[in-house]
């Protein structure tokens, strides 16, 4: 029986996926992949007025509604915001999700970003994908190991810059012009975050911020015809897949361009 094709998009917090990789996940869903979204943190810190329990509940529902836009399954946060550490228990929890989903393609955060939650999420998921097939590493909860080939792609950091203000240039550009309204609709469903971002980071419009990021990535490609893009850098295939290939380009074809 042919292996089911699945794609897992991972963000540190609810709404991170929508900012930097939801367009590509939407394209993969249209190409026949079963889409999944995981946020490693539960959004507990994303409020200026709700209690911890209230905001976790609100943000989980918002993330579920956003995932529904493209028919994706949402996997709730594993730890509180700012509790994303590279430690054994979290790796075991993340491994359980990876084994359950058995993804062929994983979209995950940049290894260089403006905050630790994002960067450590990337490291945790890289490790979870590495140990997905190790029988003697029990996950939490226990899930049977998987051995499918998996291809990892790191998305752009927020605002396309690392914590030292350096511009991060992707090596792959995915044309998401056809998905920009879908990205907006998904992001719009994280309604609690407009207020929080206005208070905490001075972003007047998180929708405009997302569009501007995609526009800047498109310009970085050097292709005038490209209006909105998401950018990625592919992780090494060693220990993740038997063959070194660019699965995104193979699946999405002309939608994916190299720098």
The pLDDT tens digits of the residues spanning 31-44 come to: 999 999 999 999 99
2-14 pLDDT, tens digit each? 568 999 999 999 9
* Average pLDDT of the segment spanning 20-41: 98
Supply the CATH number for residue 45's domain: 3.40.50.10320
Angle subtended at Cα 157 by Cα 175 and Cα 30, rounded to the nearest 5 degrees:
35
Q: Which residues contact 38 (CB under 8 A, 6 or more apart)?
A: 8, 9, 10, 11, 74, 75, 94, 97, 101
Residue 33: strand, helix, or coil? coil
Split at pLDDT 50, 70, 90, the class of 200 is: low
| Interstrand relation of 151-155 and 105-108 (parallel, antiparallel or unpaired) | parallel
pLDDT of 207? 87
Residue 1 covered by a domain: no
Q: Predicted confidence band at 258 (pLDDT cuts at 50, 70, 90)?
A: very high
Tokens of 67: 């995932």
> Using one digit for the tens of pLDDT, what is the confidence trace for 170-189?
999 999 999 999 999 999 99
Reported as a single tens digit per residue, the pLDDT across 38-93 is: 999 999 988 778 899 999 999 999 999 999 999 999 999 999 999 999 999 999 99
Number of domains into which the chain is organized:
1
What is the reported pLDDT for 198? 63
What pLDDT score does 165 carry?
Answer: 95
DSSP 8-state secondary structure symbol assigned to residue 209:
H
Strand pairing partners for 10?
A: 38
Task: Give yes or no for residue 1 having a pLDDT over 50.
Answer: no
Of 154, 152, 171, 81, the residue nearest 112 (C-alpha): 154
CA 10 from chain center: how many Å? 3
Under 8 Å CB-to-CB from 169, ≥6 apart: which residues?
Answer: 220, 231, 259
Whole-number mean pLDDT of the chain? Answer: 94
SS3 percent helix, strand, coil of the chain, rounded to 5, is 40, 15, 40
Judge whether 182 lies within some domain. yes
In a domain, 63, yes or no: yes
Position 15 in a domain: yes
Show the domain range for 130: 6-258
């Amino acid at each position: 029986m042919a292996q089911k094709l699945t794609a897992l998009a991972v963000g540190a917090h609810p709404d991170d996926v929508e900012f930097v990789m939801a367009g590509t996940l939407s394209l993969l869903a249209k190409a026949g992949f079963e889409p999944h979204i995981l946020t490693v943190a539960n959004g507990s810190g994303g409020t200026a007025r709700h209690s911890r329990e209230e905001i976790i509940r609100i943000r989980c529902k918002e993330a579920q509604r956003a995932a529904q836009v493209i028919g994706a399954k949402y996997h709730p946060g594993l730890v509180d915001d700012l509790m994303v550490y590279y430690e054994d228990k979290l790796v075991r929890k993340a491994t359980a999700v990876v084994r359950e989903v058995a993804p062929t393609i994983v979209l995950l955060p940049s290894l260089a970003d403006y905050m630790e939650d994002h960067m450590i999420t990337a490291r945790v998921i890289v490790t979870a994908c590495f140990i997905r097939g190790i029988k003697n590493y029990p996950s939490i909860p226990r899930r049977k190991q998987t051995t499918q080939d998996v291809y990892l792609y790191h998305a752009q950091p927020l605002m396309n810059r690392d914590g030292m203000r350096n511009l991060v240039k992707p090596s792959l550009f995915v044309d998401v012009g056809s998905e920009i309204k879908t990205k907006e609709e998904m992001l719009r469903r994280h309604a609690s975050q407009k207020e929080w971002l206005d208070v905490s980071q001075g972003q007047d419009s998180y929708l405009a911020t997302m569009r501007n990021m995609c526009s800047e990535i498109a310009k970085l490609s050097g292709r005038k015809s490209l209006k909105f893009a998401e950018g990625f850098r592919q992780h090494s295939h060693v220990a993740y897949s038997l063959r070194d290939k660019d699965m995104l380009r193979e699946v999405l074809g002309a939608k994916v361009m190299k720098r």
